[in-house]
Amino acid sequence: MFTFCPSCASKKIAFDDINVFRCPDCGFVYYHNTAAATGCLIYVPDTERLVFMVRGNEPGAGKLDLPGGFVDPGEGVLEGLYRELREEIGWTPPGADLPQVFTLFASFPNVYPYKGINYNTCDLFFTVSAPGLKPEDLHLEKSEIAAVRFLKPEEINYDDIAFESIKRAVRAFVHRRS
Ligand SMILES: [Zn+2]
């Protein structure tokens, strides 16, 4: 990621292959730490469908994703998830008490490659029940989301899912319900 030390421009900057860059010449240290990210398993009980988005952009353009995303600096995980739902699909679950609205379901690591840099994330997956929710209730962020798909478990093709962490979360969710 760094060819030169950002502090002294030394070429001796070294990466430990996990998360730390160190410059032996000036002592510069940078921790490329894991970032927190969220994913929301929105389940429509009356039609037995899970809500997926089709990604509009790389990485994984055209593939299935769950609503959610990176937690911003200064944000809690639930606030970040609520904001992402509002931004991406224009829908938020009813109720203002976020810990009651969202139930933590699972957590898996992921790697999110973006413009030549791999971001390691710790993805937290939450479940929300959305009785009566229909595709026309959602208002998509057109710059990022190509479409939504409401899929029954048997309609999910795991090869179409953009990220490993999301495959694992969806598999676990479907397995638990069957
Ligand atoms: Zn340096």
Say what the pLDDT of residue 33 is.
95
Determine contact, residues 88/141, Cβ cutoff 8 Å.
yes
Q: How many angstroms does the Cα of residue 10 sit away from the middle of ligand 1?
A: 5
Q: How many angstroms does the Cα of residue 21 sit away from the middle of ligand 1?
A: 10
Over residues 133-160, mean pLDDT: 96
Q: How many angstroms does the Cα of residue 16 sit away from the middle of ligand 1?
A: 15
Q: How many angstroms does the Cα of residue 73 sit away from the middle of ligand 1?
A: 26
**Which architecture, in CATH terms, is 35-177?**
Alpha-Beta Complex (3.90)
**35 forms bridges with which residues in the sheet?**
121
Q: How many angstroms does the Cα of residue 17 sit away from the middle of ligand 1?
A: 18
pTM score, two decimals?
Answer: 0.92
Residue-wise burial string across 56-74, b where 16 or more C-beta atoms lie within 10 A, e elsewhere: beeebeebbbbbbbbbeee
Over residues 139-167, mean pLDDT: 96
Residue 173 scores a pLDDT above 80: yes
Say what the pLDDT of residue 162 is.
96
Say what the pLDDT of residue 104 is.
96
Say what the pLDDT of residue 73 is.
96
pLDDT tens digit string along 36-94?
Answer: 999 999 999 999 999 999 999 999 999 999 999 999 999 999 999 999 999 999 999 98
Determine contact, residues 81/38, Cβ cutoff 8 Å.
yes
Q: How many angstroms does the Cα of residue 82 sit away from the middle of ligand 1?
A: 40
Q: How many angstroms does the Cα of residue 11 sit away from the middle of ligand 1?
A: 8
Separation CA 165–CA 56 (nearest Å): 19
Q: Which amino acid is at 40?
A: C
Residues whose Cβ atom is located within 5 A of ion ligand 1: 5, 7-8, 10, 23, 25-26, 28
Nearest to 1 by CA among 22, 121, 162, 122: 22
Residue 171 scores a pLDDT above 90: yes
Say what the pLDDT of residue 130 is.
95
Say what the pLDDT of residue 96 is.
76
Say what the pLDDT of residue 161 is.
98
Distances (CA, A) of 89 to 38, 55, 147, 172: 15, 12, 10, 24
pLDDT tens digit string along 11-24?
Answer: 999 999 999 999 99
Angle, alpha carbons 44-169-104 (nearest 5°) = 75
Residue-wise burial string across 5-42, b where 16 or more C-beta atoms lie within 10 A, e elsewhere: beeeeeeebeeeeeeebebeeeebebebeeebbbbbbb
